[in-house]
Amino acid sequence: MIDIAVVGYGFRGKVLSNLMLKMNKNVKISAIVDNRIEEIKNELGESSGHIDFYDTVDELLDHETPDGIIISTRCSSHAQIAIKVLEKRIPFILEKPVSTNLKDLMALKSAYERSGTEVAVPFSLRLNTLGQAAKEIAESGILGTIEHVQAINNVSYGSVYFQHWYRDDEETGGLFLQKATHDFDMIQYILKLRPIWISAVKSKQIFKGDKPAGLTCAACEEQDTCPESAILHREKGEPVHGEMCCFAVDTGNEDSGSAIIQYESGMHASYSQNFFARNKAATRMFRFLGYKGTMEFDYYTNRIHVNMHHTTRSEIYDIPFGDDTHGGGDIVVCQSLLDTITKGFPSQTPFEEAMQSALLCLKAKESAETRTFQEIKWSE
């Protein structure tokens, strides 16, 4: 059997562990680390009798050596837990962001280099069907060398970052780390160039206000009229992303941000993200421009457009969506861990690149807060 331990059995922990159980009949969830043990036992019912439960990752690592581990705790603890697992040289999946501060990121990098253990990160943009197809087109040479990148992420479900626990920016590290870490990684995946400078700005223009701290939609007098009301969305049968008031004094996180990244060749990429766009305004679009042609694709449509610059030829590729909620990316990251465990294969998301993405996000945040250009280098 393949023993898998899950550290943090929340939404993502369940998604990834259930996928692994479906993908390989030899997988067994042997242990769960969480602070809600009784609640989880009741949820799992009889199947919980075959699982060992622990309050902390230290207890797990003191008592067991699973074949692999899924780390899906809240963001601020990712790096610290990962360091402990790296010391045991157990391969694992680490949810993004891999760190929420530079000190922890430096310690994580050092632990990883000492350990040499394979780490898989659910960077779904590169792993899913659309990302793989875009990579294939870029590497075909049809566009020429990529010399400019434009990317936009208008998040249609952005209220989750103001109405759920994600509203705590001390926990999330801010929304560059929460969202742009995927997009920066996708740009890096295509370019394969070293980023050297970043400049960024961020704004909080919408999700702010003077409502009392801790206010929920259910307790608000505007629950029947507020466009963000969880009560109103539920009555309409629409998705509900949280119960807290996003116009209260205790909301954190910026609601838009932009960055410009310069790479070692001299080229640059521009990126912008927004968290109050809705409905058909939603997009997660990338545009890669070479001298010969431009490739544009959007994760909401799963369609790639290739337009040649020196002929009138254009091509459209409709890419099938993958078989999970991340376009197939979650399946790939789970398979990556299984392949590491059973075949010794390297991770399909090299951890060096995951840490590079986190560094870019942290430097973008610092740039926005200090109004300075930030050099991308591994030092404090």
Q: pLDDT in tens for each of the 380 residues of the chain? A: 999 999 999 999 999 999 999 999 999 999 999 999 999 999 999 888 899 999 999 999 999 999 999 999 999 999 999 999 999 999 999 999 999 999 999 999 999 999 999 999 999 999 999 999 999 999 999 999 999 999 999 999 999 999 999 999 999 999 999 999 999 999 999 999 999 999 999 999 999 999 999 999 999 999 999 999 999 999 999 999 999 999 999 999 999 999 999 999 999 999 999 999 999 999 999 999 999 999 999 999 999 999 999 999 999 999 999 887 787 899 999 999 999 999 999 999 999 999 999 999 999 999 999 999 999 998 75
Phi first, then psi: what are they for 375, rounded to 5°?
A: -80, 140
* CATH dotted code for 125-327+359-375: 3.30.360.10
Query: Hey, what are 234's tokens?
Result: 């539920």
Residue 80 CB partners (closer than 8 Å, separation 6+) = 104
The string of DSSP letters for 36-82 reads -HHHHHHHHGGGGGG-EEESSHHHHHHH---SEEEE-S-GGGHHHHH
Query: Hey, what are 91's tokens?
Result: 């391969």
What CATH homologous superfamily does 2-124 map to? NAD(P)-binding Rossmann-like Domain (3.40.50.720)
Instruction: Give domain limits for the chain.
Output: 2-124, 125-327+359-375
**pLDDT, position 97:** 96
**pLDDT, position 363:** 98
Q: Print burial letters for 281-302: b (CB count within 10 Å at least 16), e (below 16).
A: ebbbebbbbbeebbbbbbbeeb
CA pair distance 102, 131, nearest whole angstrom: 28
**pLDDT, position 323:** 82
CA pair distance 192, 126, nearest whole angstrom: 13
**pLDDT, position 380:** 56
**pLDDT, position 49:** 86
**Secondary element (H or E) of residue 184:** helix 181-191
